[in-house]
Protein backbone atom coordinates (compact mmCIF):
# COMPACT_ATOMS: atom_id res chain seq x y z
CA UNK A 1 0.00 0.00 0.00
CA UNK A 2 1.28 3.43 -0.91
CA UNK A 3 0.36 6.81 0.42
CA UNK A 4 -3.19 7.80 -0.58
CA UNK A 5 -3.26 10.36 -3.38
CA UNK A 6 0.48 10.00 -4.08
CA UNK A 7 1.39 8.23 -7.30
CA UNK A 8 4.99 7.28 -8.00
CA UNK A 9 6.56 6.90 -11.38
CA UNK A 10 7.45 3.42 -12.59
CA UNK A 11 10.66 2.41 -10.77
CA UNK A 12 13.66 2.71 -13.07
CA UNK A 13 15.61 -0.41 -14.05
CA UNK A 14 19.01 0.17 -12.46
CA UNK A 15 22.34 -1.65 -12.45
CA UNK A 16 25.07 -1.52 -9.78
CA UNK A 17 27.61 1.28 -10.33
CA UNK A 18 30.60 1.65 -8.05
CA UNK A 19 34.20 2.71 -8.26
CA UNK A 20 36.88 5.00 -6.96
CA UNK A 21 37.84 8.64 -7.51
CA UNK A 22 41.60 9.15 -7.70
CA UNK A 23 44.10 11.88 -8.54
CA UNK A 24 46.54 11.40 -11.46
CA UNK A 25 49.12 9.93 -9.03
CA UNK A 26 46.62 7.27 -7.87
CA UNK A 27 45.89 8.79 -4.45
CA UNK A 28 42.15 8.71 -3.61
CA UNK A 29 40.00 11.82 -3.40
CA UNK A 30 38.94 11.67 0.25
CA UNK A 31 35.38 12.92 0.52
CA UNK A 32 33.07 15.00 -1.59
CA UNK A 33 30.40 13.78 -3.99
CA UNK A 34 30.08 12.32 -7.48
CA UNK A 35 27.09 12.99 -9.77
CA UNK A 36 26.21 11.07 -12.92
CA UNK A 37 23.89 13.06 -15.24
CA UNK A 38 22.14 11.02 -17.92
CA UNK A 39 22.56 12.39 -21.44
CA UNK A 40 19.06 11.14 -22.33
CA UNK A 41 16.98 11.46 -19.13
CA UNK A 42 17.52 14.26 -16.61
CA UNK A 43 14.59 13.26 -14.36
CA UNK A 44 16.80 10.99 -12.23
CA UNK A 45 19.24 12.29 -9.66
CA UNK A 46 22.18 9.84 -9.61
CA UNK A 47 24.76 10.59 -6.92
CA UNK A 48 27.05 9.15 -4.27
CA UNK A 49 29.16 10.41 -1.42
CA UNK A 50 32.85 9.75 -1.91
CA UNK A 51 34.16 7.77 1.06
CA UNK A 52 37.55 8.46 2.75
CA UNK A 53 39.19 5.77 0.56
CA UNK A 54 37.83 7.40 -2.62
CA UNK A 55 35.19 4.68 -3.18
CA UNK A 56 31.62 5.45 -4.28
CA UNK A 57 28.42 3.50 -4.98
CA UNK A 58 25.70 5.28 -6.98
CA UNK A 59 22.11 5.74 -5.82
CA UNK A 60 19.33 6.96 -8.15
CA UNK A 61 16.53 9.09 -6.73
CA UNK A 62 13.13 9.60 -8.33
CA UNK A 63 9.97 11.03 -6.72
CA UNK A 64 11.39 10.68 -3.21
CA UNK A 65 12.39 7.03 -3.74
CA UNK A 66 15.97 5.69 -3.80
CA UNK A 67 17.30 2.88 -6.01
CA UNK A 68 20.81 1.44 -5.68
CA UNK A 69 22.54 1.84 -9.04
CA UNK A 70 21.90 3.75 -12.27
CA UNK A 71 19.89 3.20 -15.43
CA UNK A 72 21.57 1.93 -18.58
CA UNK A 73 22.93 4.72 -20.77
CA UNK A 74 25.56 7.38 -21.27
CA UNK A 75 26.42 9.83 -18.47
CA UNK A 76 28.32 13.06 -17.93
CA UNK A 77 30.17 12.90 -14.59
CA UNK A 78 30.76 15.82 -12.23
CA UNK A 79 33.02 15.56 -9.18
CA UNK A 80 32.37 17.78 -6.17
CA UNK A 81 35.49 17.89 -3.96
CA UNK A 82 35.08 18.21 -0.19
CA UNK A 83 34.57 21.77 1.03
CA UNK A 84 37.18 23.20 3.36
CA UNK A 85 36.43 25.78 6.03
CA UNK A 86 38.62 28.37 4.33
CA UNK A 87 37.49 28.01 0.72
CA UNK A 88 34.76 26.67 -1.52
CA UNK A 89 36.00 24.12 -4.05
CA UNK A 90 34.53 24.23 -7.55
CA UNK A 91 32.90 21.17 -9.09
CA UNK A 92 34.75 19.54 -12.00
CA UNK A 93 32.90 17.98 -14.94
CA UNK A 94 35.00 15.23 -16.51
CA UNK A 95 35.65 15.58 -20.26
CA UNK A 96 34.76 11.97 -21.13
CA UNK A 97 31.38 10.30 -20.79
CA UNK A 98 30.75 7.01 -19.00
CA UNK A 99 28.35 4.28 -20.12
CA UNK A 100 26.32 2.25 -17.63
CA UNK A 101 25.65 -1.21 -19.05
CA UNK A 102 23.14 -3.89 -17.94
CA UNK A 103 25.70 -5.53 -15.60
CA UNK A 104 27.78 -4.65 -12.53
CA UNK A 105 29.66 -1.47 -13.52
CA UNK A 106 33.00 -0.41 -12.00
CA UNK A 107 34.66 2.91 -12.88
CA UNK A 108 37.87 4.63 -11.86
CA UNK A 109 37.34 8.40 -12.15
CA UNK A 110 40.41 10.63 -12.32
CA UNK A 111 40.11 14.01 -10.57
CA UNK A 112 41.56 16.66 -12.94
CA UNK A 113 43.66 18.53 -10.36
CA UNK A 114 46.77 17.55 -8.42
CA UNK A 115 46.45 15.93 -5.02
CA UNK A 116 46.73 18.40 -2.12
Encode pLDDT of 27-80 as tens digits.
999 999 999 999 998 877 899 999 999 999 999 998 889 999 999 999 999 999
Query: Exposed e or buried b for every residue in 65-92, given b needs 16+ CB within 10 A?
Result: eebebbbbbebebebbbeeeeeeeeeeb
- Number of structural domains in the chain: 1
Q: How confident is the model at residue 4 (pLDDT cuts 50, 70, 90)?
A: very low
**What are the residues facing 33 on neighbouring strands?**
49, 80
**50 in a domain, yes or no?**
yes
**2 in a domain, yes or no?**
no
**89 in a domain, yes or no?**
yes
1: helix, coil or strand?
coil
**1 in a domain, yes or no?**
no
Q: What is the pLDDT of residue 86?
A: 59
**9 in a domain, yes or no?**
no
| CATH number of the domain bearing residue 32 | 2.60.40.10
Per-residue pLDDT for 1 more than 70?
no
The domain of 47 spans 14-107
Amino acid sequence: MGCPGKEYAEPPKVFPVAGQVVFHDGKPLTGGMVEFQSKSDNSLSVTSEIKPDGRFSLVSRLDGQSFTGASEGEYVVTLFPPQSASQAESPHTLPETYTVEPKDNEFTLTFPLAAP
